[in-house]
Structure 1
Amino acid sequence: MNRAFNRKKDKSWMHTPEALAKHFIAYNAKFLGNTEVDQPKGTEVVKDAVRKLKFQRHIKKSEGQKIPKVELQISIYGVKILDPKSKEVQYNCQLHRISFCADDKTDKRIFTFICKDSESNKHLCYVFDSEKCAEEITLTIGQAFDLAYKKFLESGGKDIQDLEAENAELKTQLQMLEEQLMIAQVPPGDNMSSKSPTDLFDMPFDPFTCGAADFPPDVQSKLDEMQEGFKMGLTVEGTVFSIDPLEGRC
């Protein structure tokens, strides 16, 4: 399919676009953890990850450790995983980095998604245990992805909040570097204004600047990354993770 988002079954959306664009949808769940996977998509890929994390959970449970509870906040800006009490953000998964999302049709509590880590660029599979709303959560992530992709196309990525912040920070850093370079290059006896005549974003010419219609390189690479992620699309499906009857409850 030539759509950014595709599902195995055609279901109507559960939330209004405004709820995901201006606010977020919150869910409570238990976090089994995350583990690295080889592929960005695939039922067998997540099955192996679920088995691995369930096994680790049983070991921790036998040692007296409790499975941590988390709050999921889903919006067009991503899936945040927070501590439910302190509201501290543990993970922030941007939607264009999420490529696969699935819920278990035999154990209604288990759902999982694959997200590409922003630092290591490795694919990580996140696994959760919710109270019989796994399918609703996966569909909510799918709806958020669909809305985010449409917003990205409509805006051309120019009003993405994190890119604006990155752009402003980059501008400040470059201005500081320009001033330092000017000071280092001026001979002691020269009479020269301390203000740099070549501002990277405002000046008429600079050999390092992009064209007038281009973004700075760091921002452009971020936009390219987002476009690539949305182009790959998000696959949401229901599957059976618990092949072994002994694993039916986790």
Structure 2
Amino acid sequence: MHFAAVSDIHGNLPALEAVIADIAARGITQIVNLGDSLSGPLWPRETALRLMALNWPTLAGNHERQLLTIDPAQMGPTDAAAHAAIDDDIRAWMTALPGTMEWPGDVLLCHATPDSDDSYWLHRRRKGSRGRMRESTHEEILPHASHHALTLCGHTHMPRAVTLPDGRQIANAGSVGLPAYEDDVPSWHVVETGTPDARYLSAQLVDGRWHVTLHAVAYDHESAARRAEAMGRAGWAQALRTGKMS
């Protein structure tokens, strides 16, 4: 059993296409999507249509929820850009997406944690570090962990695979489409992977145990950065070019 998991595409169609090609080159035919697929200033409509045609098992992330429930006048610029680009057919597709999903082999798929679509799990804000992130400890991870042998998540855009003392595994696929960002909820922080690469993971069941591999894929990130600039999002352009915030 061998499959790939992508997450946090954020409307970055060139990054998505590069990841699809890389997965195919590895001979992997099953792909799951952990959510936050469209939100952003890049290609939200085109990305939605591509994903709808692919018909992968797909979750709703916090940005799908926000796009469907927040008054457009109250949206931040990232959600507002996607909201303006999508139509009722895309909204209907988003509405039908589940928040979590079980996968064969005792696997749980979620966006952020099994019980939340917007909680940070495998990484936390480091105190006194100008908002930079650190890896969560096992003690911080355990309260959210399910009973499944493997749980896959996204949301923080930072790839990581963790094995708990009892053998349960949790892995974050990273972000296909946005390698860095800053946010002020619940307090100001900066997420940076340090490279412009698109990220995803693959998982293979061997002799009853899952083996997770984190992948980084180079792609034409300059085209995405120029798109962000054309949409008035200089911060996104910086993140897409460098994997860092200025």
Query: TM-score per shorter chain, which class?
Result: under 0.3
TM-score (ref. length: structure 1): 0.24
More helix by share: 1
Higher RCO (CA-CA < 8 Å; seq separation 6+) = 1
